[in-house]
Structure 1
């Protein structure tokens, strides 16, 4: 018998020895091939995330944090027969443990606060600018780490691995995130949701900012995460505006709040499963949207309210990883300012089988509560995925039939009756009413969506972009408003650029709605992130671009920092 076998010489070096019993040249080559495959697979072995973090501690932190009297009373070497056991032992000294620093403890920080890098004292000490929203340490927080900086400085990649472990819940078991995607982003390059840095938060005294992420997507990847977010406000507040800052690669962002004990069973950190119980919708958007509520209305939040953030990102690039982030600017006012509380509802039709026949499929659902009082609608927005072809809402008559058509997602601003209806599932409009629209909820509404599935398989209701949805988001009060209010501020007001016509089949006219004094550049990018058209040295507020040679499809354009989307027919 002739055979080779590969044996491990050292578990730490991962060297392999090919031993001969009897052989020929071809067998040697085959054996060498399989030995090399074994070596490669061994080198690619994925370690638990806590162990990856532990390795960084050993390389950069244990010169001070070890021995009988470790700095800050924190030993980062740990005990245990294996590296993993030592890593898990160190985690018990960090996760949800109060810091020795009195000021940090008074702020509610933990050495490691699962899910929250901003409230993790260890990360605050090593941050050194990686997370710009954290800022400089308070004088009472002590010095940055490591103390022998820059000799033992942590690289941005090392700090990111620690941050990712925290954001995914600082668990002691399991591979919580893809280290290889993070390494590619830092060592090779990638795209960012906010390449110019975080958007500014509300001014002091006007509110606060919430950040979700970053998390990293491989090329052509897609993910939807939830994250429990505990507020620690000095007092109860009224929320009169929520400005959602998300990138064009974001599919949607939803904001919920837990009620009762609903948050107690939800783990900290980014998670894939909603596990929703005892929860209310606060707001839902599909693109960057500044929701400024009508005057005399507000959401009412307790100082210790627990929110649930829901972010869905798609990496349209086929070659680069994507750093996903979302920011929520919350604008507040003192309690007692608003006359009416604003509510939000998610009206869902989960029964929407859609065969892949290429035919138009319609599903309709009534929403009402017999005997209920009237509600007063401020805004409506439909939601489907890529096979969607339309979304409409009617008042429901007492006999259950359709009454007045009040919302058409194929028209600008959702107002029915437009001359050239066009449904863009990625930019479904919100329709606002001021004064608010009274609806007898005993009669209710009827909403209807349509799809054409020309894909490879039938689809039904589901969370990914390859599934479909039929969801109506409604903002409303339970009492009427009798005061005049300002028009709600929307994306069109803040984007400061328009394109006509849209959809476009030839030449498009772009209008910048504010003065531009210097030359600027136009870039058109496809949904993979590749620049397909660039034109420089543009001047003035109005210019034309010939798109005749551009292939049909959705595109993102950028002009002097302003971002928009268009459809080429």
Structure 2
């Protein structure tokens, strides 16, 4: 009898442990893979731009703050027309490699296929999240596994341990651009940036245009360490004694850090043309839209490198202008350059600045991107007035690599409406900071393009 009691006790004990481990297993997998993706990947990385009512949510059709986001992703048609033509859905439930290859979302987040994305699918827009804020390797593998397992809503199909891998894709080393087949190339040859020094200079370059040209694509490639690279033309009323000589290198500051007044004076006649804070840019205008470069136009190249290291840095920049025939152009793009120079940031204080710019005639806004320096913590662009009053069309908290947001179709703005800029800065120094050209000064600029 004693042995029978022991056997019975053993059975009860085994059943208890089976129940205990079953409960523990259930506890580990109580959240589905989709829930984890939504809560730990999409919400922190996507929802700050793709939120209800935002232009980006409207443009992409994706509102990551919505409770219906799963149904808006899985087997849903993307708004991007090129992706539609290629037969993609946002997330395919077909499963396996085939399902992965049919998922537009995977194309947009897979940073390791960046070169393929930029060269083969430029019409898909930019990689997400924007800037160089790539998802971690673990997050990518977690999402990939979910898609390959047919993107289920409720079940657990990916190991949560994957999310512990925080490695990220790194942008490739500098590679010179090949010359465009239709167009022309500019090249700032290698130059030195001394240790613990900011080097910013201008070179006015003769494009040698013997006829009007129409540019619909610009590529820029820079060595690492660049704060920005900008292209300007000059106002047609620039005095001849102010217009720089072609090929002359004009430093913004001398070796003692003192501003060069001659260079500063010429900057007052600048008209912004294009540029980037990213080390690599592939900027394309929609079909039928191009920038007009009149015969005889020159371009003022502005390079700014920041070297905080104790060794000499080498800078270098390539720029390609791709041109189309005039007969292909329906709309001449114009440059947007909205700037607030009234910047005063008290020491050890967070300050928010606003400035509103009027729209004086109907325009179609195709692209915007912000420009600020390292104390900027948030930059917001909103529409004031009209049917889209209060709509946020741009947001970033990344001063170093701000996103470039394209609008397809362009946003129609009418006379009487306004574009409102709101920027927040955290000045954690003991000195007042104002507008200026050094990275330790501040700026509040919105660049972009539009047509009438």
Query: Normalising by structure 1, what TM-score?
Result: 0.44
> 2: distance between equivalents of 1:462 and 1:374?
32
Matched, 1:408 2:384: no
Match of 1:316 in 2: 308
> 1: distance between equivalents of 2:190 and 2:243?
20
Gaps of 5+ in 1: 1-193, 410-422, 479-569
Match of 1:292 in 2: 284
Match of 2:201 in 1: 225
Please say if residues 176 and 221 of structure 2, whose CA atoms lie closer than 8 Å, have aligned partners that are also in contact.
no
Say which SS state the counterpart of residue 403 (structure 1) adopts: coil
Match of 2:350 in 1: 360
Please say if residues 256 and 307 of structure 1, whose CA atoms lie closer than 8 Å, have aligned partners that are also in contact.
yes
Q: What are the equivalent positions in structure 2 for 1:238-257 lying under 5 Å apart? A: 238-257=214-233
Match of 1:395 in 2: 383
> 2: distance between equivalents of 1:336 and 1:398?
35
> 2: distance between equivalents of 1:228 and 1:381?
24
Please say if residues 177 and 320 of structure 2, whose CA atoms lie closer than 8 Å, have aligned partners that are also in contact.
no
Please say if residues 223 and 314 of structure 2, whose CA atoms lie closer than 8 Å, have aligned partners that are also in contact.
no
Residues 102-148 of structure 1: CA deviation (Å, up to 9, x unaligned)? xxxxxxxxxxxxxxxxxxxxxxxxxxxxxxxxxxxxxxxxxxxxxxx
Change (3 A) 1:202 1:222: same
Residues 223-274 of structure 1: CA deviation (Å, up to 9, x unaligned)? 2111111111343211010111123311111111123252732333111224
Matched, 1:463 2:437: yes
Pairwise CA RMSD: 2.3
Matched, 1:216 2:203: no
Higher relative CO (Cα under 8 Å, sequence separation at least 6) belongs to 2
Change (3 A) 1:376 1:386: same
> 1: distance between equivalents of 2:271 and 2:342?
22
Say which SS state the counterpart of residue 260 (structure 1) adopts: coil
TM-superposed CA distance for 1:437, in Å, is 0.7
Please say if residues 371 and 402 of structure 2, whose CA atoms lie closer than 8 Å, have aligned partners that are also in contact.
yes
Q: What are the equivalent positions in structure 2 for 1:97-246 lying under 5 Å apart? A: 198-203=176-181, 206-246=182-222
TM-superposed CA distance for 1:306, in Å, is 1.3
Match of 2:420 in 1: 446
> 2: distance between equivalents of 1:196 and 1:276?
29
Change (3 A) 1:201 1:362: same
> 1: distance between equivalents of 2:173 and 2:382?
42
Query: Normalising by structure 2, what TM-score?
Result: 0.56
Match of 2:238 in 1: 262
Please say if residues 402 and 446 of structure 1, whose CA atoms lie closer than 8 Å, have aligned partners that are also in contact.
no
> 2: distance between equivalents of 1:224 and 1:303?
28
Q: What are the equivalent positions in structure 2 for 1:15-26 lying under 5 Å apart? A: none
Which structure dedicates a bigger proportion of its chain to helix? Answer: 2
Gaps of 5+ in 2: 1-171, 253-262
Residues 9-28 of structure 1: CA deviation (Å, up to 9, x unaligned)? xxxxxxxxxxxxxxxxxxxx
Change (3 A) 1:195 1:434: closer
